[in-house]
Structure 1
Amino acid sequence: MIGQLLHSGTPSHDEAERHKRLLVHAVSTVEPPAFLPPPGRGGADVRARRELANIFFERAQSAPLIIGVDDAHYMDQHSLECLLFLIRRLRSSRILLVLNESSRVPQGYQWFQAEVSRQPFTRIMRMNPLSRRDVFRMIAATLGEAHADQYAGIWHHISGGSPLLMRALLEDQQAAALDPLLEAPPGPAFHQAVSNCLHRCGDAVLAVAQGLAVLADGDPTSAVEEILGESHATVAQCVDVLNSAGLLEGTGFRHKATRSAVLDTLSPGERSRLHADAARQLHTLGASAVAQARHLIAGDPVSEPWVTETLLEAADQAVDEGRVYLAADCLRLAQEGCTDERMLATVKAALVHVEWQLDPAVAGRYLPELTRAVWQDKLAVPAVLSVVSQLVWSGDIEQAKEVFDAVERGEIGTQLPEAGHEEALTLTHAWMCCAFPELLGRLSPAEGARPRNTTGMAALALSSVLKGEADGTLVTEAEEVLQRSRLDGRSLGPAAAALAALVLSGRLRTAAHWCDALLQEATERNAPMWRALLLATRAHVDMRWGMLDAAERSAQVALDIAPPGGWGVLLGLPLASLVSAMVAKGRCREAEKYLRVPVPAAMFQTPFGLDYLQARAQYFAAVGQTSAALGDLHRCGELMDKWHLELPALVPWRVRAAELSLEMGRVQESRDQAEEQLARLRPEEYRARGMALRVLAATSAPEQRLPLLRESAELLVKSGDCYEQARTMTALKRMCQELGWLEQARKLESRIAELSSKYGFVPPAEAPEREDPLTAPVAASLPPAPSLAPSHTDHELVRDLTEAELRVAVLAAQRHTNTQIAKTLFITVSTVEQHLTRVYRKLRVSNRADLSLELLLRSVDHP
């Protein structure tokens, strides 16, 4: 170092030769040359160093001299001794010596540091990191104050106040401004600055930084000590240096770009080795299985007995935490290193369960092998039931029944038995019956006390709904299951069963609320297949409400997430919604594209097949293939009769068939079908009842049509189905036109246009393929009827009613007496009369006979 200082002064040739000789003798104990004084205390090297110091003093005589030494802690021993000789004599000279040293210095430098610090004219200055205000000024000077306001806070945190890293961030920002393809900082300059900083800090600091980068934030730092073989004191000192350098905050990196830059200082082989070592050390320290698994996945193979069990445990934890992709990686690695046949079967069963959440088509590849493992009794009951669910999904119901029966008889699933799996068996059976209703006869009625855990409650709710025995309590318990469930590996089965029970029982508003809540959770937990299923369910609910745009959007996204090949027998769920929505919107050619998608034959043994057949019938009817449409609808009826499935509101095929029969001129047949549908419906099944009443009105005598259409409209308003409301309103509008009630017809037409515009369907009278048979003109011989309301009544006035007034008005419009209304609403007759008085005044009508049509015109939107 002294030689570099002497050379920086551009000496003459003679001076350079003299410097060279002095430098040689400054590190030597041989006899000095003749021009040096005789040896004294310390030997010839001391005299040589004195002469070297005199050279600097001579230079300072002509002008002040500044000597700067960067990274002084790296100086060689002889230079330190020479420099110390100079320092002790600086008081009487015009020399300023500036030494830049690290806060962490090697032992060989500490004696020099102590000698310098004790000199009276020495000043020690510690360089603190830049403050946030300093960073603001630095950015403002380069990029302007607007950028400083935007970036000062975040860049101060990323850089830790390091000028080196701040300059790199500024360079990255300037490059990004010139090239729009470049990302905003941190970028390449920051990456390089981190690398430079680490290499300047020394090998020990670099190694600790690499160890921390390989270990995730939250892993114990003691693992770094074990991996590197360093003492706690050494690692702690290196961590302090990294904090001072602005790279760490505590033991965690300030930014992911910093950690990435540190990892890039390792070769792939070094990184893999460190990950493997980290896994071993974390296992020794008792870290979480997920922490160990992350390193096992990234590192060299670790062939030790604890690895498979650790990966299985990690996969289970990852599923519970919503990290499905990590769970799949854990199980794939466990599969590769497992040699025990039974353990391997367990791993594959778990892998199929996880793979299904990502892509059911991939999970299906393992099914034949897993089925063999089931019959060889290599799996415990939960894993066997998971295989049963996969068999049902793929449509292999016969083998699913055989496996399930064998489990019930105790013939398989005996390995690693688990207590309390009876409810899981019940839930699996309920799911089998939901997918394949032909099994419904095997469902035994619930006996004894109702279960209180979510699995048992969900199974009971679903099976009761399927058998047509659901009551209000069971549906309430289904909602309680959803309130108590998270969308994880253990509760997703009960949650899905409870949601299905709500949909099948017609509790669509409640089902929609929980569907949206679960959908948000599935999105947050990155579970693609669950998200696709929930979107398909939401599309089904939206179709039942006539919200065609929303239904099409949800069903399309569901098929984008999971292509048709992975849906199994549930493919009919999104396809039916898409086809029905497009037909109702007048886009039959697009609907045909989805009808060409291959579907599994087993789908037609499921309720999803019923939805698909009904949607296809709508398409056939729209394009004029009435016979084909009736064939599909009658097939729905045959299947439901075969299954003894008492859910006429689920697929109201008789109403659709009655409409087509009417179109073909078979009036009596149409009437019979509508009446049979009404006879099978429960009072609360508003949607199907309203649709049937509309058909019945079209087959009735002219004087009977108006009350039937009024009731149909009122029921459809209650159901929330905007599309079917519009169809009934269209029939009412035509009737009003025939009767000469033009004001009422215009109001109905306005409401129809409002609904069709809001929910994305073609108004029934404007459907391009064919005219709706139920909107045909009423016979001219229809006798005049009393006016429904004064012509000046405006449907907007209904919105002025309070909730209490509206409830009373609806019941009054349905011809309930004041006493009946009071009992229904738990209020006094006097209160009813007061409400009605205000209703008449606000709606500008004179009596309850004028209320029905007005209430049909009120704005009813789905919440």
Structure 2
Amino acid sequence: MDEGVTINAAAAAGPGLLERGDELERIGGLLDAAAEGEGSVVLVEGAPGIGKTALLRATREAARDRGLLTPSAIGSELERGFAFGLVRQVLEPIVAAADPAERAALLSGAAALAGPVIGTGAAAAAPTVDASFSVLHGLGWLCTNLAVQTPLLVTIDDVHWGDRPSLRFLEFLSRRLEGVPLMLVLAARPGEAGDAQDLLDAMAHGPAARVLRPAALGEAAVAELTASALGERPDPAFVSACATATGGNPFLLRALLRHLAENDTAPTATAGAEVGEVAPVTVARAAHRHVRRLGPAAEALARAVAVLGDRSSLRNAAALAGLEIDIARRAADALAAAGVLALPPPRFVHPIVREAIHDDIPTAERAAAHASAARLLVADRARVEEIALHLLHTDPAGDPWVVRGLRETAAAALAEGAPEIAVGHLRRALEEPPPPEDLDAVRLDLGLAEARAGDAAAIDRLAAVTATATDPGVATSAAIARSRVLVLIGRSQAATEGLVAIRDQAERIGPELGRLVDSEIVDAARLHLEQLPVLRRHLERLDATTPADDPRRAVVEANLAFDRVAAGAPADGVLTALAPHVTGGGLLQAAGADAPGHYLGLNACVLLERPDLARPALEASLADARARGSLFAFAYGTRYRSVIECRFGRVDQAAEDAGTALRLLTERGWQAGAPGTLAFLLEALVEQGELAAATEALRPWSGETFAGSPFEALFLGARGRLRAAAGETAAGLSDLLRCGEVMEAWGWSGATVVPWRSRAALARAALGDREAALALADEELRLARASGLERVTGIALRAAGVVRGGSEGVELLRTAVDVLAPTPARLEHARALVDLGAAILATGDAAGARVPLREGMDGAHRVGARRLASRARTILLEAGARPRRAVVRGVDALTPSQRRVAELAASGLSNRDIAETLFVTHKTVEVHLSQSYQKLGIRSRSQLGDALSAAG
């Protein structure tokens, strides 16, 4: 219709693309920006035939003039069940055409995770809780790698018919275009994306998005097209009639004019009355009438192409139509001449035409045709996904071959991170139905796919499989899968009960399966207090039955270590049993970075005050998360890094990590990890003095949310501390005492998990109850010393010293400072120094108070504890000192994100490597580095190492 149109004023006025000047000008500006490195998204919305395809074609021409690469794709209603079908259309030809060196560059780093989708043969990484994100992450970096080589324009027509995984990726990519020379132009019919409409809506409202809605043609454009089609200047009444009959829709208008030209209609005022009788629906079906006029062979071929889809071969279309190839070739030429098909390969000129042909085929005949098409494609060695698209449209007939094909494509879709596609295929397989011997396996496959897709139906389906499966192994697998879903959404009690019910059955199958179920029970039961007896019983059994050479022994030791150190057992014995599994990587290998046992072991290392063990193990798990593209493991790793940073590092980094982890967990509904993360965030914000921010973070949550959870104690301890810091001392004390009750109920009677007694002692003292305060402080000190841990002992000594006051208090505080000085607990050491200075000042020795106060203020400043640093400065002023105000410069001026990026750059990582490591965009890295150079007073990457190390 409008081949060769380019984006300029002449094109806007020419016969091919009329009245689209504004749209073309806006697109041209965005193309210029893309060529300069700034990506964008354009969504072209409009009714069928309004000219969306013509705009996309013109955009590609203009992009080529600017030197952009212009891959494209077209959505098809038939192919909605083909996982990542649109993505494959765009990327597979580019990757396939690349030479080995180019392909290796394109698929380097995180882009390798796209291998399962684009057919590079790359091995899929180990499965993740969130495999979909892994694939999206890989595809995103593949597109970035492509765009870095050559600026990219990706156009997708009829995107509303795209498969959901493709649309999910496009939405994912649309949020990551800042600083990427990549422009997306998508054409869609409004409101026709079905269950993927939410993704198109999200793209339309994104920060980089523009929405264009081409208007209907005005009468001037209608007159121009009419004159061109009918060969003479039309009467205004005739033009008005044509505009009214077609609503100014360019495609419908062309079809109408073709119909009028074939009937030798002159564009007179009188003929305008005849035009009015041709309704838009009749115009839309004009092509169908053309087909029938061309004879039975043409109609059969057109129907075959409608069933097979636009990428069918003429040979297959002829076979499906029952035509000899020569007859089919002549029929195809006739259909092309009539404006119905485009060649080669045979494809409809417009979706409207295909819809008219396809919908006219009787339902039963259409289903039979799709079955025949599937068998044709099998003989043609087509991809299993292409075959399955037709199987989805057949009538159930109890055919085992259909079930096998659908199960194969479902498995492929799961491997590609497209669980919703797998669900559709497996539900259709159940309708077939499967042979009796395969029924349980198909039901299990479907339940697992629904679980991966986040479909609530998975819970009941897996429960039904557990209850009715004839194969005990299938029943056990279903119960384990169901429990993992329940744990993720915060229903650990139901998960535990389901696992306990099948535990003995699993043991009868084999001792290894029995131990696996015991391990799953321990993971689930640990998340609710009512299940504590179950936890202890099954952990004891695991301890007794897991051999020393079994890799899962590491997980058992992690569980035992946490429970023992939380109960106050001497640290040395606990550490001796746990350390080899952490330092040798056995715990990560046995549990995996997605599993609770791994983080329980890391948490035990933190409680044992060994950040030197926890940090390398955590970095290894984060590296594993990045290699597999697991956002779940990245969120959990970031969460536990916040704990390490708050206790042994920088408070500002702890706050950022906890905030990031909480956002990721809550956005994806991973409720099990949110409560503890909130507690870590509150602790860090209080240390920063950000009490308003902490109160706001707390606002959506309540204590009832965490009732029965092991994280209830962390939450109460953090909220109690926040309330006390905000002046609500009585409310804070109430939280802290309740925290103690919860910890005792869990058996965490030591001083390691939350130092609630020390905090409550300080609150009691502030409220004037010195006797009760001393009792709490003394008990905490006794337990801390029994553990042999220096940090908790220093905390207890500090609390005891503050509560006692006077010379005795000063001596206790001096001891606290001495105990904490050699430890990595720099924040607690600074706190003890400040309290020591305050206690000395209270005795009247202002000069003696200044030294610990200055040291404490400097220490607090170095770890980002602004609230403590401010308190130290205030007391210094009371002591007659004139402390300088902290000048934020150099490394201390860097935000946590800037510092992390700068450190990674100094270690030798490229900007792309840093972006992949932190799951951020390339542009974000560039901005952080540029700002870091300014704050550090340097000009190049090579100076980063010295600038960072100079801060000590």
The TM-score range, normalised by the shorter chain, is: 0.5 to 0.7
Q: CA deviation at 1:649?
A: 0.5
Q: CA deviation at 1:657?
A: 0.8
1:462 paired with 2:567, answer no
Structure-2 change in CA distance of 1:295 and 1:751 (3 Å): farther
Q: CA deviation at 1:608?
A: 1.1
Range 685-694 or range 702-711, more displaced: 702-711
2:517 corresponding residue in structure 1 = 425
Cα deviation 1:402-445 (Å, max 9, x = unaligned): 323321233x899xx67731221221122134323523442426
1:191 corresponding residue in structure 2 = none
What is the identity, as a one-letter code, of the residue corresponding to 2:847? G
Alignment of 1:772-851 (within 5 A): none
Alignment partners' CA distance in 2, 1:646 and 1:561:
32
Contact 1:655/1:674 (<8 A) preserved: yes
Q: 2:540 aligns with which of 427, 441, 444?
A: 444
1:728 paired with 2:832, answer yes
Structure-2 change in CA distance of 1:580 and 1:507 (3 Å): same
Q: 2:503 aligns with which of 398, 405, 408?
A: 408
Q: 1:632 aligns with which of 735, 744, 748?
A: 735
What is the identity, as a one-letter code, of the residue corresponding to 2:617? W
1:13 corresponding residue in structure 2 = none
1:752 corresponding residue in structure 2 = 859
Alignment partners' CA distance in 2, 1:413 and 1:590:
51
Contact 2:420/2:453 (<8 A) preserved: yes
Alignment partners' CA distance in 2, 1:583 and 1:700:
25
Contact 1:617/1:630 (<8 A) preserved: yes
Structure-2 change in CA distance of 1:602 and 1:429 (3 Å): farther
Alignment partners' CA distance in 1, 2:460 and 2:379:
38
Contact 1:569/1:603 (<8 A) preserved: no
Where 2:618 maps in the other structure, the secondary structure is helix
Contact 2:730/2:767 (<8 A) preserved: no
1:572 paired with 2:675, answer yes
Alignment of 1:390-405 (within 5 A): 390-405=485-500
What root-mean-square deviation, in Å, do the aligned CA atoms of Structure 1 and Structure 2 show? 5.8
Q: CA deviation at 1:610?
A: 1.0
Contact 2:810/2:836 (<8 A) preserved: yes
1:347 paired with 2:445, answer yes
What is the identity, as a one-letter code, of the residue corresponding to 2:518? T
1:667 paired with 2:762, answer no
Structure-2 change in CA distance of 1:376 and 1:501 (3 Å): farther
Higher-Rg structure is 1
Where 1:593 maps in the other structure, the secondary structure is helix
1:259 corresponding residue in structure 2 = none
Alignment partners' CA distance in 1, 2:655 and 2:152:
48
2:616 corresponding residue in structure 1 = 513
Alignment partners' CA distance in 1, 2:547 and 2:97:
60
Structure-2 change in CA distance of 1:587 and 1:699 (3 Å): closer
1:381 paired with 2:476, answer yes
Alignment partners' CA distance in 2, 1:498 and 1:451:
17
Structure-2 change in CA distance of 1:739 and 1:518 (3 Å): same
Structure-2 change in CA distance of 1:494 and 1:662 (3 Å): closer
Alignment of 1:214-233 (within 5 A): none
Q: CA deviation at 1:263?
A: 12
Alignment partners' CA distance in 2, 1:263 and 1:516:
54
Alignment partners' CA distance in 1, 2:477 and 2:699:
38
Cα deviation 1:52-82 (Å, max 9, x = unaligned): xxxxxxxxxxxxxxxxxxxxxxxxxxxxxxx
Cα deviation 1:695-731 (Å, max 9, x = unaligned): 1222446444455334433544555344323312212
Where 1:350 maps in the other structure, the secondary structure is helix
Q: CA deviation at 1:548?
A: 2.8
Cα deviation 1:15-38 (Å, max 9, x = unaligned): xxxxxxxxxxxxxxxxxxxxxxxx
1:549 corresponding residue in structure 2 = 652
Contact 1:426/1:459 (<8 A) preserved: no
Structure-2 change in CA distance of 1:514 and 1:745 (3 Å): closer
Contact 2:555/2:587 (<8 A) preserved: no
Structure-2 change in CA distance of 1:579 and 1:699 (3 Å): closer
Unaligned segments of structure 2, at least 5 residues: 1-64, 69-93, 99-149, 155-177, 187-303, 321-346, 359-365, 434-438, 566-572, 881-947
Q: 1:532 aligns with which of 635, 653, 657?
A: 635
Q: CA deviation at 1:612?
A: 0.8
1:829 corresponding residue in structure 2 = none
Alignment of 1:209-288 (within 5 A): none
Q: TM-score normalized by structure 1? A: 0.52
Structure-2 change in CA distance of 1:626 and 1:746 (3 Å): closer
Cα deviation 1:210-267 (Å, max 9, x = unaligned): x99979xxxxxxx99989989xxxxxxxxxxxxxxxxxxxxxxxxxxxxxxx999997
Contact 1:535/1:557 (<8 A) preserved: yes
Alignment partners' CA distance in 1, 2:314 and 2:617:
46
1:435 corresponding residue in structure 2 = 527
Alignment partners' CA distance in 1, 2:552 and 2:772:
45
Alignment partners' CA distance in 2, 1:862 and 1:454:
42
Q: CA deviation at 1:447?
A: 2.9
Contact 2:591/2:597 (<8 A) preserved: no
Contact 1:465/1:505 (<8 A) preserved: no
Structure-2 change in CA distance of 1:334 and 1:621 (3 Å): same
1:252 corresponding residue in structure 2 = none
Q: CA deviation at 1:626?
A: 1.5
Alignment partners' CA distance in 1, 2:390 and 2:826:
54
Q: CA deviation at 1:692?
A: 0.8
1:81 corresponding residue in structure 2 = none
What is the identity, as a one-letter code, of the residue corresponding to 1:457? A
Cα deviation 1:180-228 (Å, max 9, x = unaligned): 999669999xxxxxxxxxxxxxxxxxx9xxx99979xxxxxxx999899
Q: CA deviation at 1:279?
A: 7.8
Alignment partners' CA distance in 1, 2:727 and 2:644:
27
Alignment partners' CA distance in 2, 1:448 and 1:373:
28
2:794 corresponding residue in structure 1 = 690
1:621 paired with 2:717, answer no
What is the identity, as a one-letter code, of the residue corresponding to 1:514? A
2:867 corresponding residue in structure 1 = 762
Contact 1:275/1:298 (<8 A) preserved: yes
Structure-2 change in CA distance of 1:673 and 1:281 (3 Å): farther
Contact 1:481/1:495 (<8 A) preserved: no
Alignment of 1:581-592 (within 5 A): 581-592=684-695
Q: CA deviation at 1:170?
A: 12
Cα deviation 1:591-633 (Å, max 9, x = unaligned): 2223221458462212211111111101211222212111111
1:48 corresponding residue in structure 2 = none
Structure-2 change in CA distance of 1:540 and 1:375 (3 Å): farther
Structure-2 change in CA distance of 1:485 and 1:366 (3 Å): same
Structure-2 change in CA distance of 1:564 and 1:596 (3 Å): farther
Aligned residues: 555
Alignment partners' CA distance in 1, 2:401 and 2:370:
16
Alignment of 1:701-712 (within 5 A): 702-706=806-810, 708-712=812-816
Alignment partners' CA distance in 2, 1:542 and 1:408:
40
Cα deviation 1:383-404 (Å, max 9, x = unaligned): 2123234444445455444323
Range 685-694 or range 578-587, more displaced: 578-587
2:577 corresponding residue in structure 1 = 473
Alignment partners' CA distance in 1, 2:152 and 2:654:
49
Alignment of 1:98-117 (within 5 A): none
Alignment partners' CA distance in 1, 2:776 and 2:950:
30
2:287 corresponding residue in structure 1 = none
Q: CA deviation at 1:666?
A: 3.0
Alignment partners' CA distance in 2, 1:502 and 1:182:
41
Structure-2 change in CA distance of 1:413 and 1:629 (3 Å): same
